[in-house]
Amino acid sequence: MNGNFSSINILVFIVALLFSVGFHEAMHAFTAHWLGDTTAADQGRLTLNPLKHLDLYTSIILPIILILSHLPPFFAAKPVPFNPARVKYDEFGAALIGVAGPLTNFALAVLGALFLRGIGGQLSVGITDAVQTFVLINVALFVFNMIPFPPLDGSRLLYALAPEPVQDIMFRIESAGFMAIIVFILIFMTTGLGTAIVNVDNAIFRFLVGR
């Protein structure tokens, strides 16, 4: 992919991110509703409208600043609320809600990659770059959100599988709220974790698009 960030590149990035994060969060809400919890629907989150799910600072401004600074991007939207007590299948239902978002992003990445493999050679460079950006954003959302660190989506899957002592530790981390997110961002930015995640993103991207 082209490493230059023109105003067009940034516009494509924003549009792709809006679409991708909107679908990600909507699938959390749809899955929760399917499992019997109407909390998200009651708060107007049962929608594909990305504006209902995005946070201006953590969903748009922060990732753009990080990318322009040549740092690994961090994406975050407003969490979709759900009531575990109203969800079918207890912890496994909550796990389904958690993984629904990242798996949606992976499915979108696969669709974009199949599009490139199918007719990519007939497209202009600009359109090809835009679709590649879309694929990479969705791969990044999938990989990052599957990290089993509260409150990321992957933690819901770990909750369902981990023994009670591990669940207690995770609950304490998640109870820290925004501070837990700040700590994770610092770990993400200052250790090899960010580089490792980017390497995984790039490996999956190359596998999907055949490069």
111 in a domain, yes or no? yes
| Residue 21 maps to a domain | yes
* Contact present, 170 and 133 (Cβ < 8 Å): no
- Provide the pLDDT for residue 99: 96
Predicted pLDDT of residue 173: 87
Angle at 207 between CA 18 and CA 196, to 5 degrees: 75
The answer as to whether 63 is a domain residue is yes
Find the domain containing 24 and state its range.
7-209
Q: Which two tokens stand for residue 127?
A: 């359109």
11 within a domain of the structure (yes/no): yes
| Residue reference for tokens 């990305």 | 50
In a domain? residue 1: no
* Number of Cβ within a 10 Å radius of residue 210: 9
How many domains are contained in the chain? 1
Residue range 47-62: mean pLDDT, rounded: 79
Pick from 134, 120, 133, 142: nearest CA to 197: 142
Asked if residue 115 lies in contact with residue 138, where contact means CB atoms within 8 angstroms, the answer is no
pLDDT (0 to 100) of residue 174: 83
Active site residue 25: yes
pLDDT value at 1 more than 60: no
- Stretch 59-86: mean pLDDT: 76
Q: Cα 74 to the chain's mean position, in Å? A: 9
Region for residue 107 given its phi and psi (left: phi exceeds 0; alpha: psi -120 to 50; beta: otherwise):
alpha
**Domain contains 108:** yes
Residue 2 inside a domain? The answer is no
- Closest Cα partner for 81 from 24, 41, 50? 41
Rounded Cα distance, 65 and 138, in Å:
18
Exposed/middle/buried for 69, CB within 10 Å: 0-12, 13-18, 19+? exposed
Residue 83: closest CA among 29, 44, 47: 29
Backbone angles phi, psi at 67, to 5 degrees: -65, -45
- Active-site pick, 25, 91, 164, 174: 25
Tokens (6 digits) for 4: 């230059």
**pLDDT > 50? residue 92:** yes
Which of 63-77, 163-177, 183-197 reaches the highest mean pLDDT?
Answer: 163-177
Listed range (4-13, 26-35, 44-53, 122-131) with the worst mean pLDDT: 4-13
Token output for 123: 């497209």
Q: Examine residue 147 and state whether it is found in any structural domain, yes or no.
A: yes
Mean of all residue pLDDT scores within the chain = 86
Better-scored residue on pLDDT, 12 or 55: 12
pLDDT of residue 54: 76
